[in-house]
Chain A
Amino acid sequence: MQHKLRSARGSARLRISIGAASLAVAALGVAGLGSGAASATSSRATSHASAEPWAGAKTVGFIMVGEESDEGYNQAVYAASLRVKKDLGVTTLLAANVPETQQVTTVMQQMVNEGAKIIFATSYGYQSYAYAFAKSHPKVLVLHQGGTYTGGKFPANVGTYFGEAYDPVSLGGMAAGAITKTNKLGFVYAFPIPQTVDNVDAFELGALSVNPKAKTYTVATSAWCDPLKQKSAAAALLSQGADVLTQHQDCQSTVIEAAKAAHAFVVGYHYAAETLDPSGWLTGSVWDWAPLYENIIKTAQAGKFTGSQYNGNFIGTFKSGDNPLTLAPFGSSVTKSTQAKILAAEAKLKSGTSIFKGPIYCNSGKVLVPAGKTATPAQINQFTCFVKGVVAS
């Protein structure tokens, strides 16, 4: 009896909330039916005679993991999408702040529903979702910003691309190595994924090339954007004596502000943020994705994507002139002679030399790249060890 009474009381309460909830859903439904499918009036891609379903595509989607105004990774993507829209006259569908979860799939599906034939999934962590989506949607061209496909034969509708990020990062390392008084450089990063390990290594190698005593101290924050941890990391590095900070995080202003407050120098990453700290800014590596995006889109529009260089692990390089990561302008603290050295090194990289030319040793003493050998992009994308001179656990 008690049991029944209690559930009676419970069920009446339920009815209010659930009744209200279903009412809300019903109200939404009426709104939806009432105004019909107004939201689906996006441009449909014109059907083309070509075999590739995305030929002549007029709508392109861009998915970003963070805020489009983060003065970082995502703003670079956003800026490029604006250029693409202007230069190619395509409709762009933008989705920012999309977490690396099932939401990626939902967003891609919505983009397709809105007429997108080409989708750029611009975060490493979108990889699995992007490939799975491509598999179930063979008529949609899915491009992943990462360049790390390892699944064997490339599907016809997938491309993944990145740049030799480590090239400009090594140039930033030179600027840092030249200016440091303490010979201690600080590097704040999120997680030891290969792209980050490459950057740390390149930074240290660049610094060593101008200053054999330079050491890079690293702190991992285990988060792509946790300002509190970034600040702690910066403070720890600064108190340890580092007088130049750099980073591989999604949001960069916290570390820059910390360096500024301590009158230390910064080497930026992702986006030119010299306005945040004009006196401390040395240089940085900044993304310029638009040319690459436009080349990929044009190739796809022409119906020539499958089998092209973009239908694979495409890595833009200084040598081929299509590295999407470029050197940012120099800050006022960088001396003319350092600038000249850096520009000379850049010219050498453009002529085809690599910073990962052996012999290079891991900080454990193990050989990373044997003498006389140069690491291939595929090998570099598998690096897991920090080079000698990097202080890291």
Chain B
Amino acid sequence: MTTATEDVSPPPGQSPPDGPSWRAAGSMLEAFGRFPGWKRLGAAVGVYLVCLGLFAAVVGTQKANPIGVYDSIVHSALFSPGSLPEVLLRAVPIVLAALAVSVPARAGLVNVGGEGQLIIGAVAATGVGVDLGRSVPGPLGWLLMALAGTAAGALWGGIAGLLRVAVSANEAVTTLLMNFIANDVMLYLLYQPWKDPTGGGQPESRPLVATEVLPRLFGSSINLGVIVALVVALGVYLLVKRTGWGFALRVVGGNQEAARRAGLPVKRLMVSSMAVGGGLAGLGGMLYLAGTQIQLLPGGTATYGYVAFLAAFLGRHDPLKVVLAALAFSAVAVGAPGLQLNYGLDGNVIDVLLALIVAAPLALSAYRKRAF
């Protein structure tokens, strides 16, 4: 996907189009020269081995056999009945919430609000879905729920974008705060107006009717949401890499001042990138609701939004790489229960592994940036 562009080197003698990117390209070459492929690979392998070793040490302190633990994760995630569809299903909200980080990142904005945007998307989709019931045919119901979820997420992200351009309120913090607000909004609705009157008093919305539930594919437990997530990821890839809007975002992210002087509507681009990002996560919330959860439940998003932030980082904000990272995280989560069942390990131990998987490229950052 990037092979066409990666060996483009600046023609000698030609004046650089703009400072930073010229320097960056130069530094890239320098970095390549200084760290030939095998060395970079060696560094990556080494750091990952260290991180996997650290996790082994942690489980070792709990008297679990590290080899067995890794075997258990892989076995549970990839080779046990029903695990692969589960990995795909779980990846859906993570992929979309990660794309929600990646799009604003193009414009230099940090969206830590994937969690809240997922929640508010699921909330809006529930409102529409429960209200519609059987009054519309399935596909129209899905579409309306998806629109509602996307719009709500876009609003949640867009507000943070607006606050950023209007009063310079840092979006990393506002999106973070809005996660908590979204969660409280959901709790309020679930414990009061939306509580399922037939649900035994438990905090859950009325379930979606059967026609509103996303259909399963190929007789497996995989549902339409998986396909939608992949298509959307591809769409986002094209959007940010092949459209003028995507290009403009890159310019804004690279140098706001230059973008402004070039006549780009910087503020509008920033807000729209946050809204698009939020909308993606909102759609993720809707797909998760209509595909997997069927009814709105408290705590259902399970920190997927934060995991997604790390997936976006691991995928370096490239939509397709982000999908792979999200799948990897999803697999780790699906592989986790085996550790409890077979080794009596604490369930949260998997967070350590997840952290170390991301810590490895973080520790390698210097190799990438040394030439700066």
Contacts and interface: CB of A to CB of B under 8 A. Distances in A.
Q: Do chains A and B touch in the complex (CB under 8 A)?
A: yes
B25 A39 contact: no
A47 interface: no
B45 A23 contact: yes
Contacts of A124: 202
A23 B44 contact: yes
A1 interface: yes
B299 A40 contact: no
A57 to B, nearest CB: 16
Nearest to A39: B72
Interface string A113-150: 11000000000110110001000100000000010111
Contacts of B32: 12
A40 B201 contact: no
A217 B21 CA distance: 65
B318 A103 contact: no
A97 B80 contact: no
Contact of B200 (A16, A21, A103, A194): A194
A39 B314 contact: no
B314 to A, nearest CB: 6
Specify the main secondary structure of chain B where it touches its partner.
helix
B287 interface: no
Interface residues of B, number: 97
Contacts of A381: 200-201
Given A6-B24, A18-B321, A101-B302, A384 B8 contact: no
Interface stretch (A104-112, A208-216, A253-261, A270-278): A104-112
A106 B79 CA distance: 14
A124 B367 CA distance: 49
B133 interface: no
Given A13-B368, A32-B79, A127-B202, A21 B292 contact: no
B80 A110 contact: yes
Contacts of A95: 337, 340-341, 347
B221 interface: yes
A125 B295 CA distance: 13
B41 A32 contact: no
A337 interface: no
A336 interface: no
B203 interface: yes
A98 interface: yes
Interface in B326-356: 328, 331, 333-334, 336-338, 340-342, 344, 346-348
Interface string B168-211: 00000000000000001001000100000011111110010000
Given A18-B315, A193-B202, A4 B325 contact: no
Specify the main secondary structure of chain A where it touches its partner.
helix
B5 interface: yes
Interface string B72-93: 1111101111110010011000
B155 interface: no
A94 interface: yes
B24 A101 contact: no
B254 interface: yes
A99 B338 CA distance: 16
A359 B163 CA distance: 56
A22 interface: yes
Interface string A353-393: 00000000000000000000000000001111000000000
B354 to A, nearest CB: 12
A384 B200 CA distance: 11
A302 interface: no
A93 interface: yes
Contact of B338 (A13, A14, A31, A110): A110
Interface string B304-321: 000000000011111001
Contact of A31 (B5, B70, B187, B367): B70
A112 B32 CA distance: 50
A1 B17 contact: yes
A127 to B, nearest CB: 6
Interface residues of A, number: 78
Contact of B6 (A12, A35, A100, A127): A12
Given A8-B25, A38-B71, A103-B302, A2 B361 contact: no
Contacts of A96: 340, 346-347
B52 A20 contact: no
Interface in B20-36: 21-22, 24-25, 28, 31-32
B299 A100 contact: yes
A49 interface: no
Contacts of B344: 94
A5 B10 contact: yes
A384 B364 contact: no
Nearest to A116: B341
Contact of B191 (A5, A19, A29, A191): A191
B364 A16 contact: yes
A16 B48 contact: no
Contacts of B200: 127, 146, 148-150, 194, 381-382
B250 A6 contact: yes
B44 A150 contact: no
A113 B321 contact: no
B44 A19 contact: yes
A153 interface: no
Nearest to A108: B337
A241 interface: no
Contacts of B166: none
Contacts of B70: 28, 31-32
B300 interface: yes
A192 B346 contact: no
A121 B360 CA distance: 36
A34 B67 CA distance: 10
Contacts of A333: none
A59 to B, nearest CB: 10
Interface of B: 2, 5-8, 10, 17-18, 21-22, 24-25, 28, 31-32, 40-41, 44-45, 47-49, 51-52, 67-68, 70-76, 78-83, 86, 89-90, 184, 187, 191, 198-204, 207, 221, 241, 247, 250-251, 254, 292-295, 297-302, 314-318, 321, 324-325, 328, 331, 333-334, 336-338, 340-342, 344, 346-348, 357, 360-361, 364, 367-368
Given A11-B318, A150-B199, A150-B200, 18 more contacts: A5-B10, A7-B2, A18-B325, A20-B47, A21-B325, A25-B331, A29-B78, A34-B71, A37-B75, A97-B347, A102-B89, A102-B90, A106-B336, A114-B341, A128-B297, A148-B199, A148-B202, A192-B191
28 contacts: A2-B17, A3-B247, A7-B241, A8-B25, A11-B2, A11-B6, A14-B316, A14-B318, A16-B364, A20-B44, A20-B360, A21-B360, A28-B73, A32-B70, A35-B67, A38-B71, A39-B338, A94-B340, A94-B344, A96-B347, A98-B337, A99-B302, A101-B297, A103-B336, A110-B341, A146-B202, A151-B198, A192-B191
* 7 A-B pairs with least C-beta separation: A32-B74, A148-B200, A194-B201, A20-B44, A17-B361, A97-B347, A101-B302
